[in-house]
Amino acid sequence: MFRRFKTEIYTYYKMGLLAVMSIAGLVLMGQSETAQNILSGLAIFLLGMVFLEDGFKGFSGGILEKILKKFSDTKLKSILFGLSATAIMQSSTLVTILTLSFLSASLVGLGQALGIVFGANIGSTTSGWIIAGIGVKMNVSALGLPLITLGVMLLFAKSKNLKSLGYILAGIGFFFLGISYIKIGFESYQNFDLSAISSNKVWAFAIFFGMGILITSIVQSSFAALTIIILALSTGSISYDDALALVIGTNVGGVVTALIASISSSVDGRRLAIGNTLFNLVIAVVCIIFLPWFKEAVDILAGFFGFGESDYALKIALFHTTYNVIAVAMMTPFIPLFEHFLCSFITTSKDDSDYARYIDFDLIPYPNTAKECLQKEVLHLFDNTIFILGAVIGASKQELLESRLDEKFFDSPKRLKINADELENLYEKKIKNIFNAIIDFSTHLRTSYDDDKSFCAEIANLQKASRNLVEATKNLKIIKPNIIKNSAATNKTLQQEYTNIRVLLAQTIYDLKILQDENLAAFDATRAHKPNRAQNIAAQRMAGENIQEGIKHIKKDLKTINSKSIYTIQELIKSRKITSAQATSLLNDIAFSTEALKEIVNAANCIVKYENLLLANNASLADPTDENSMQNIPLQVDAGVESVEAGAGAESGAALDSGLIAESSLDDSAKSSDNPK
């Protein structure tokens, strides 16, 4: 819900800006031919960006997400990924939004995300070189229309890749056509009238600096802002010093996208957005203070590269690149300190409600990653369900998983610390919030890819697992009052029967964990011999099938227990050890207990099936010699930590032995969870 709210806020912001720009544009276009050309060109240019982003989203086929997760385990790799991805897609916005979403889903750590965003700052400077080297020097409109024509023709192709290529070609064509219109507009308007402040260079710099921030904030594209600046400079509409102020302002204005996208994001998402903002503000201040030295460095480099003395368009591109490279070089060694500062400065809420940690509506365009995050969220719900079960019977999650608890453990009624009202409150905070988010996200995810039956089957399995877990907790809530009441009853027979219910619940969860651990150990033993791809896949599938078979035996045992309870209770009534009213309550509570356990093991079964199906779809991508590619094995679970330590990949953080039932204390996990507001 909160992640979706973030997406809606970002959409409303863009719609609001569009409405304001449209009204202002219509007024200006009706009064000036120059405004017609500039604003029409800007609209065509931004349309090209939309086409280009859509093309890369469809054309990547999950490649971008895979590369991001695999090549962001060090600071240098993170920076290089951000640089190259932005340079290729010409959209630091897309890279920033994707990084925010991956960070919120704990797929990358804060340190890696900072490196990616820093790299994206350098990658965004390539747009300046494109405009200065091609847009100014060539008549690009001659290329625009043929590319648009070819791109639109490819949009009618049946192949998804060809359609995506069509979007990319049409996007480039619209880029070129937009540049041409903007250039024509500025050529007919040679100078801004700044006579009132021409005597005060400080005020002139401040005004253009502010304009750079404003333009980039409005158009939501540093590429578009740089295009306007360089074309205005090349036609003499603004001076070189004015352009420098605009470029510095553009860098600061680019943080607005990340700030808006981080609204109601995870705490790490907010840390990244604030970190990116502080980085750009600090570097802008440093650049303004030492601007004469920056200009001198640019002149030296321009002479080295053979640029003309008055070729200010290329000099601006060079300044933009130099400015960002120096900024990143200055900040990179301090990323760990910067990360520590952000973690100390922006802390989690003290509210003990548990929210969806991994799912993010911004990830829906990336189906493989969205599916992985949904799986993690279901496992998060599974983890909380075990916590609820422990609260019902008076045992911590750690105690449930460390040993097979017996009657002696439950001798003291003081263990039952939570009453029915507190349990209801716990359900609202730790189950209902997450379940609502899972259903909302998974429904939109299935709708977006309803033509992919296999994908929809995987998502349906996860939906079913989450429903099973909710039903389990509802059954546990029903039996809680009687467990509290009868665990301290004066009737020792009745007290013993309710102790047996608590033992049954505890031992079944432990047996499920042992079933998982034994099969994971067998799989690890197979991996130790470095099997080939086929052997590895077979071992993975065998582990999943063995657990499914074990789950069938657990369900069969539960059915037997439920059936035998009728005869046991009849004997107790005959021997007058319990009353008929007590017998009715006991019989119902045994039924609710076994049903709750069946729902839990059914959820586990759904998760195992999901993993096998996922493996079948991606078997060709698995490489047994690659440690990272082997992290996603059957029954893998991320324990749900808030963030991954700097320098460690999120994938490698999901250890093989964490399993379907993670042993980490949920109490500790909940304290470190992200509680977005």
Residues 567 and 440: beta-carbon distance below 8 Å: no
Average pLDDT, the chain: 75
Q: So what's the pLDDT on residue 588? A: 92
- Nearest-angstrom CA–CA distance, 125 and 364: 28
Comparison of pLDDT for 608 and 280, the residue scoring more = 280
Which residue from 560, 570, 540 is spatially nearest to 633, judged by alpha carbons? Answer: 540
Q: What is the pLDDT of residues 616-667, one digit of tens each?
A: 333 332 332 333 333 333 333 333 333 323 333 333 333 223 345 554 433 3
- Nearest-angstrom CA–CA distance, 317 and 660: 52
Q: What is the pLDDT of residues 86-109, one digit of tens each?
A: 887 777 767 777 787 777 767 778
Residue 233 has pLDDT above 90, yes or no: no
CB atoms closer than 10 angstroms to residue 490: 6
Residue 419 has pLDDT above 50, yes or no: yes
What DSSP line would sit under 410-463, residue for residue? G--GGG----HHHHHHHHIIIIIHHHHHHHHHHHHHHHHTTT-HHHHHHHHHHH
- Nearest-angstrom CA–CA distance, 482 and 484: 5
pTM above the 0.85 mark? no
Comparison of pLDDT for 283 and 72, the residue scoring more = 283
Residue 405 has pLDDT above 50, yes or no: yes
What DSSP line would sit under 521-581, residue for residue? HHHHHHHHT---HHHHHHHHHHHHHHHHHHHHHHHHHHHHHHHHHHHHHHHHHHTTSS-HH
CB atoms closer than 10 angstroms to residue 677: 11
| Region of residue 405 (phi > 0: left; psi between -120 and 50: alpha; otherwise: beta) | beta
Enumerate the domain spans of the chain: 2-345, 364-671
Q: What is the pLDDT of residues 3-55, one digit of tens each?
A: 444 445 445 555 565 566 566 666 666 666 666 777 777 778 777 777 877 77
In total, the chain counts a number of residues equal to 677
- Nearest-angstrom CA–CA distance, 538 and 86: 39
> 230 vs 29, 121, 246, 312, 388, CA distance in Å?
22, 18, 10, 8, 61
- Nearest-angstrom CA–CA distance, 489 and 498: 10
Residue 477 has pLDDT above 60, yes or no: yes
Q: So what's the pLDDT on residue 653? A: 31
Burial pattern 353-385, b for ≥16 Cβ within 10 A else e, equals ebbbbbbbbbbbbbbbbbbbbbbbbbbbbbbbb
Which residue from 74, 76, 56, 54 is spatially nearest to 65, judged by alpha carbons? Answer: 56
What DSSP line would sit under 86-144, residue for residue? HHHH--HHHHHHHHHHHHHTTSS-HHHHHHHHHHHHHHTTHHHHHIIIIITTS-THHHH
* φ/ψ of residue 398, rounded to 5: -65, -45
Q: So what's the pLDDT on residue 201? A: 76
Residue 236 has pLDDT above 60, yes or no: yes
